[in-house]
Each structure stands twice: as structure tokens, then as C-alpha cells.
Structure 1
């Protein structure tokens, strides 16, 4: 019987958070649960920590863009910003999950782009 590496265990946690973020499109509170777990679980494994940092940044950037969208609803462009935010967030969740599933770190956690690198 093979034992699981520490990275694999923590990467499973990262995948759980990506799942919570994806579920957040339907049940918003799961995204908040995901970011709380990312803060709790980081600090134990370098590979998984790259994902947790990426997830935390995704949450805070999403919140900022969401607030901008809310404010700009008055002038009519907020809906376009919401659409951009939905696509941006979903692509970050999918690409991050795929990297975690392959056991790879997010190489640039400060990146604001659509895909995890």
C-alpha cells in the first residue's frame, strides 16, 4: 500500500476549495467558506500553498471587481463587468483545478489574468 505524499493531501484540499468556488456560482456562501479554508490550510506545503495563495487572491480580486460592477450598474456597464467577472473567475477555477489535479504549483500567484500558470 502506497502512502500519500504531503503535497497530494494538501492538493486535495486545494481541489476542494476550487470545487467550493465553482459551487459559489450557485450558492454564494461556498466561496466564502473556500477562502476561509484557504487561509486555514496554507503554510504546510509549498505546492499547495501556491494554490491557496492563488485562491485567496482570486477571492479578493473578485470581490473588488464585483464592487466595481455594482457601482457601475448605475451607468449601465455593471452588467458587462459582472459577465467578465463570471468568465474570469470560472477560468481561474478550472485552470487552477487542472494544475492541482496534475500535482503542479501555480507558478505566478500574483497574476491577475484569466488562467493559472
Structure 2
């Protein structure tokens, strides 16, 4: 009897739904840890991309892009903070990250791919 038939323990340790959800949760926890958890999350996404099912790879691509685009948007917000608009935009970037994580968590729980993992928006 394989591990898959034995309660699905194999799917937990291989790149798949649980690992994908972990990265999204790390991104959300990064709001509390000052971004440190998101670094762990993106490293984890890079390590797992290309090792699972096709639907899982769309999530890892989406997560990696969420990290880098979030970083880019945050740097732009810091620069724009000198003219006061950056503070409002930083709030919008946080909402953008949260929405992307929630969208990803919902799709991952249904084991569905992200429709457009390379989008700059949501």
C-alpha cells in the first residue's frame, strides 16, 4: 500500500496544497513580523516551484510574483511618502497583498490553479 493510499500522508510532505497554503499564510503573518516571514515564504515558493502538479506551479508563480511586486510597490510607496501620497498607497499595497493571499488560499483549498499567475493586479 502506498503512502497516498495510506491516508494521504505523502501529499503533505510533497509540494502541493498544504505547502502552497503555508506560503500564503507566511505572507499574511509577515504583516506582524515586519516582512521576515514573507522572505521565508518566497524562498519556500522558489524551492517548490516545478516539483508538483501544474496547478500547484501556478500558485508558486503567483506567490513569487506577489512577493516581488509587493516589494516593488512598497519601495515606490516609500519614495512617494516624501510627498505624503505614499502613506495612502502603502495601505493600498497591503490590501492588494491580502486580497491576493485570500484569493490564492481559496483556490489552493479547492486544488484549482490561479487563472493568470503573472498578473500585476489581483
Task: Tell me the TM-score normalised to structure 2 length.
Answer: 0.86
Q: Which has the higher Rg, Structure 1 or Structure 2?
A: 2
Is there any run of 5+ residues in structure 2 with no aligned partner, and where? 1-5
Of 8-17 and 97-106, the range deviating more from structure 2: 8-17
Q: Does 2:50 align with 1:43? A: yes
Give matches, 1:1-117, under 5 Å.
1-3=6-8, 10-27=16-33, 28-45=35-52, 46-114=54-122
Distance, in Å, in 1 between the alignment partners of 2:108 and 2:61 is: 13
Superposition CA RMSD, Å? 1.8
| Residues 15 and 48, structure 2, Cα contact 8 Å, conserved in 1 | no
- The CA distance in 1 between the partners of 2:10 and 2:111, in whole Å, is 11
Unaligned runs of 5+ in 1: none
Structure 1 stretches of 4+ moved >6 Å: none
1:24–1:6 CA distance, 2 compared to 1 (3 A): same
